[in-house]
Each structure stands twice: as structure tokens, then as C-alpha cells.
Amino acid sequence: MPRIAFLLVIILLQPGLAAAQQPASPAPAADDPFVWLEDVEGARSMEWVNAKTAATVADLSASTLYQPLYDRLKQILDSKDKIAYPEIIGNSLYNFWKDAEHERGIWRRTTWASYGTANPTWETVIDLDSLSKADGVTWSWSGADCFEPEFRRCMVALSRGGSDATELREFDLTTKTFVANGFKTPEAKTGTTWVDDSTLLVGTDFGPGTMTTSGYARIVKLWKRGTPLSAATTVYEATPDHVGAFAFNTNDGARRYLVIVDRTDFYHGILYLYDQHKTVKIDVPTDADLNLVQGQLVVYVRDPWTVAGKTWATGSLIAMPVTDFLAGKRAFQLVLQPGPRETINNVSTTRDYLLLNILNSVRGELRRYRFQNGRWSFDKVPAPDLGTVGVAATSAYTNRFFFTFTNFIQPTTLYATTEDGSVAEVKRMPAMFDATGLVVEQQEATSKDGTKIPYFIVHARDFKRDGNNPTLLGAYGGFEIANTPSYSTHTGAAWLERGGTYVLANIRGGGEFGPQWHRAGLKENRQRIYDDFAAVSQKLIADGITSPRRLGIRGGSNGGLLMGVALTQHPELYNAVLIQNPLLDMKRYNHLLAGASWMAEYGNPDKPEEWAYISRYSPYQNLKPGTKYPTVMFTTTTRDDRVHPGHARKMAAKMESMGLPFYYFENTEGGHGAGVTNAQVAKELALTYVYLWRQLGVEPKPTP
């Protein structure tokens, strides 16, 4: 799923806002007795949350498995042998790092030469533990945007307790201090980009009427140094029913461009170049992705695009000189048209190269393209096979870049390339779990409509197909996000190493086979995604891999919705259902936090014709009394300002009213995740694996 980094961060990773800033909701339905749990930090809500969480912790932590799992997972999270993934900023390499001594983490830097040694010398730039103590705020790191090419001043984003809402402060990399009287924004869902060293483009909550119904900024303003934010002048304004307006910058290696995007919905946006106080529309399809390299405008085509008398097919990557394009010409050249089982999973750039992460039958490779002598040519970057290749760090000022290789049982390895294109291994994560005797298979199930659905199985070489293997099945199925093999240290240490079998399903809705694979499950076709997941579950049972008694499922966010649907549509298939940070009430999802921004994926439940198909799968509405459900576990966080914690709360409360057993765990920190500190993450992980083993395996009884 090629997405330009700015859009991925803005739309996928930060689609929320603080609970206090959420869009106004309509009056709740009179027939929803649990709507009071949507009051995120209300006394009544938190009393319920604390009681259910305490009961879950007391029960699951009493297991003799809990402490060994917690200690092991905490040790892995704190390990100093982890890969310190670099970020290229100027002539230095930066890294954000957490361990036992740095609970909230440090932002640090080193030189290229030092990074290549066995023990790099790191210089701390920002210590979040010290900053949190000084400010009296539990800060979480949300990144930094540095002005280039000087790379001296940065806008540092600090998140309170891991939420998506951030406070932005100007920081000086030379003095390692926050700039006195520098740029600073109050806590909100805010985005900025540098115009020059004294000017920003900023989108934030400027006051009443300045946010969209999705909870994003709809106005982009020009903000001059030394003036208050209230004095910033409007550059662009989107309508309230759009997702939002965002500013960013991109660089083709020779020139830096300022761009404003008006996201009309999750998948469509109108792009404008901003220059000298003017905006010029970039006339490409609104669902296309753009990149710039070597003066070339590179376009990823999602819908067939006819331009200058030629039609470019879905999934094709085309390019032409950006100066010619802005002059009105449309003489595109083909860079790549993927084959029937291929897709371009990601696009990134260096100074001179276009880096394409290709999936071929959900197996990754990395290609390096260059425009020379009027045509595009490529070479394949040397990397291992049968796994996932990912670009870790690039810069528009060098052809050196970092990439990783990973699969289910091989520890992640970081590689670096040189200016001449040679590749060297930089760091290999040590084995974090014992993979001896584990094998990986790729198989297919046939969905209800005949579509072949691939899935990976990780299991012991000598396991028996007797239906007695504790099996954990995961999937996501949405937003054109591909689920690919990866080395999960907690799945390995807490599940595989203890004899569990793990399965990853590549169902529709994801990006494993390009835009068509995703769009096959949009809106009124959503049931296909859930049928795919059921088909994989049924195939595992039919093949004797597992049985309903031994089959558990796990998913978060959109994957949490998937788990909720699996629970309500096929409770007979599972004995454990782990639902994390989920959407579940699809009647009200578009009125909770950033939910309105996802209507292009799910549909609008306020329209009767769209609620007609949403209502058939919405888990909250389809939980039925008198049905035998497996014991479910819900996890979420109070600070999740992306997917409202009310989804998990209300579903659990409804189950409670029906006399159905469940576990419920809500962390007070963590945003749209499991926690901020390693201790918080390890606790939630340990609790969830105790739950899974209790439901699916043979759990030792707690000592009396």
C-alpha cells in the first residue's frame, strides 16, 4: 500500500484528538443503556473501568504463568540488544530509545561512523523522563520535524500519556534546548511544516468552528516567528465535512516543495503546491499517491487513469518531469506495472533512487529504480528471501539508506547501503525466543465466494494434525494495510516457544494484492472480509491443525472490529477472542472521536441505506442473549483518542448484562496501543497471554 509518509502519519497513525476535543455527538439512541460509558473520564465510567480492570488483573495475575511471562517480556522490551533503528537527520543518525533506565525514553544521536561499530557512542538530546519530572506531565514521544537543509531547529511533538493530541515545541539541536520564546502550540491535534527558519504552516484547533467533523484541523495558517498563534493568517480552508487540511513538505533531492492536502475523505485528497503565498492545484487523481525524486513526479495509480490519450491501469507506477507537469504536459512513462500476484507495498526515495517495496504472493523484495538517459531502470537490492523487506530510513540528501529483513522465526536484521549501492549488515537482533524446530508454511483457504485466501502457519515441525494444537489466529483486513511476516518477540516468547501454533491470515480489505484486494471489502462488501476470516478458521479446523476448543483469535483497532464480528457471527469456532482497542458500535462510530474519517471504509450509519448493511455485522448490535459465546478479553486505554474506549466498554457492559463472562483491561496510558512504558506494555502482554493459555492450553493452577 504505497502511502506518502506524511499521509500515513496524519491519516493512519494519528487520526484522533483528545477526548475533550472530540466532535459534538448527536443525542444517543434511547435504546442504548450503556452510552454513559462514552464519558471517557467521568466518575461513573471510571468507577466501572477500574472495577473491571482490577478484577481482571486479580484473576489473571494469580496464574503461575503470569510472573514468568511478565519478567520475560519486560526483559525483552528492556533489552539493550534491540536494534536502535536510525533516523537520518542532517549528518547525524538519531534514535528514540527506551529501556529499564529510561522508562519514557531518550532521543539521542550518533555519527555514521560510530553507528557502524559494535557499541555506538550515543549523545542524549532529549530525556523524556527528566522532562516529564520537570513538567509534572507523563510525556510520550511523538516525533520531531526538523527544518532542512540546516537541520538545526525542530518542532518536537510531545504527547500526554500516549494520546494522539500533542503539544509542539521548537527545539534547537545545536544547544539541545527548547527555544526560548520559540514556536509552541497548545495541546491539540496539530500538524506543522517549515516554510523557512522563521515561518511555519500550521493546522490546529484555532477555536470554535476550525475543526472538521472528523476532529482534524480544517484550516492551514501561515505563522511568523515572534507573533502569537492567533495572528497567523489563513492560507487554506477545507469544509467541515472533509477529513481535514494538512500541510507538509517534500524534496526531490534538488528542490524542496510545500504542499497542502485537502482530504475530502480517507482515500481521496486534493493536492496543492504552496509557493509565494499562492496555492496551485496538482491535477492528478484524488486517490493517487505522489513521490518526487530526481526532478520526477511519480504517481501511483489506484483507479484506471486516462490522460493524454493513454489509460494507466490500476496499480501502475508512472512518472514524468515535475517541471513539465506543472507546465501542463502529461507525457508520463511507465515505471512499473505489477504482475497478477504482485503489488507495490510501499514507495520511498533517496537523493537519486526510487525504492519500491514489492510483495509477490505476500513475500517481499526491494527494488531500486533510477531515471537515467530518458528511461527508468532498476536493480534488486540484495536481501534474504521468504520474508518481509522494509525501508527503515532514507534522506533526500544522500543515496545511503537503511532497510530491514524479517520473518516469523528469523530475528530482524538491519542493513545499510552505501553511496555506490553496496549492502552490508549493520545489526542483527539476537534470538529473543527459541525457534528450534519451528517451520513456516503458506497455505490457502477458499472463501464463501470462491476467492483464494492465503495464510501463514508457524508451528513445530513434529506437531500432529489431531486438532489439539493451541492455535492463535490473527488478521487485520482493512485500509489497504498488508499483513506480512515479522519477527514478533512477544508472540515468539509467550506463545510459539511454549508450544503454540500461530497463523496470520491475508484476508481481503488489506493491501496484500493491491488496491483491488482492499476495495473488494469496502462498505457494502464488508461481509467478504469476515467470510474470508471464517474460511481460514474453518480450514484450520478441517485440516486438523486445531479445533474450536483450541482456536483463539486476536486483533486490534480495525482488527478488533474483525474479532467482534467473528465472535458474534461464528462463536462456535473459537474458545478465545482477544479484542484490542476496537471499533464495535458501528451505529455511533462516526460520532466518536475520529470515526467520521473512516466512513469511506465502512460507510455512513446515519444513512438508512448504508446502516442496512452495516447493521448486519456491527458487533454491539448483534450480540444476542441466549447465545453461547466464548469468554472474551477486551483491552483498551483511557488515553486512546483515536478509537474511542467506549466501544470496548459498552460491549463488555452489554455482555455483563447478559450474564456472559469476559475479561476487561484498560490502561490509563498508551493512546491507541498497550502502554507508554515497557512495564505497562509487559503487564498487558502478560495478562493477555495468560488469558490465551487459560482458554486454549493447559494452564498450571495457581498455588493456594
Write out the catalytic residue numbers. Answer: 557, 672
Tell me if the bond preceding 149 is cis, omega within 30° of 0.
yes
Query: Which one, of 403, 400, 423, lies nearest residue 413 by Cα?
Result: 403
CB atoms within 10 A of CB 379: 11
Q: Report the amino acid identity of residue 684.
A: E
Query: Which one, of 130, 122, 125, lies nearest residue 80 by Cα?
Result: 122
Residues 6+ apart with CB under 8 A from 392: 85, 86, 401, 402, 403, 404, 414
Beta bridge partners of 123: 109
Number of residues assigned to the chain: 704
Give the separation between CA 9 and CA 5, rounded to whole angstroms: 6
- The alpha carbon dihedral of 37, 43, 49, 55 has a sign of negative
Secondary structure (DSSP) of 130-159: HHHHHHTS-EEEEEEEE-TTT--EEEEEEE
> Burial of 380 by CB count in 10 Å (0-12 exposed, 13-18 middle, 19+ buried)?
exposed
CB atoms within 10 A of CB 207: 9
For the record, the C-alpha cell of 38 comes out as: 462514552
Give the separation between CA 584 and CA 564, rounded to whole angstroms: 7
* Helices 646-657 and 558-569: angle between axes, nearest 10 degrees: 20
Q: Report the amino acid identity of residue 48.
A: W
Pairing relationship of beta strands 662-667 and 632-637 according to DSSP bridges: parallel
CA distances from 694 to 545, 556, 606, 631, 649 (A): 19, 20, 40, 10, 23
Distance of CA 178 to the CA centre of its chain: 29
Helix, strand counts (H, E) of the chain:
15, 39
For the record, the C-alpha cell of 123 comes out as: 549523545
Block residue for cell numbers 488489506:
510
Q: Contact at 8 Å (CB) between 639 and 669?
A: yes
- The alpha carbon dihedral of 391, 396, 398, 399 has a sign of positive
Pairing relationship of beta strands 219-224 and 333-336 according to DSSP bridges: unpaired
Give the separation between CA 109 and CA 120, rounded to whole angstroms: 10
β strands within 423-468, DSSP E: 423-428, 438-446, 452-460
Beta bridge partners of 307: 310
Beta bridge partners of 356: 347, 367
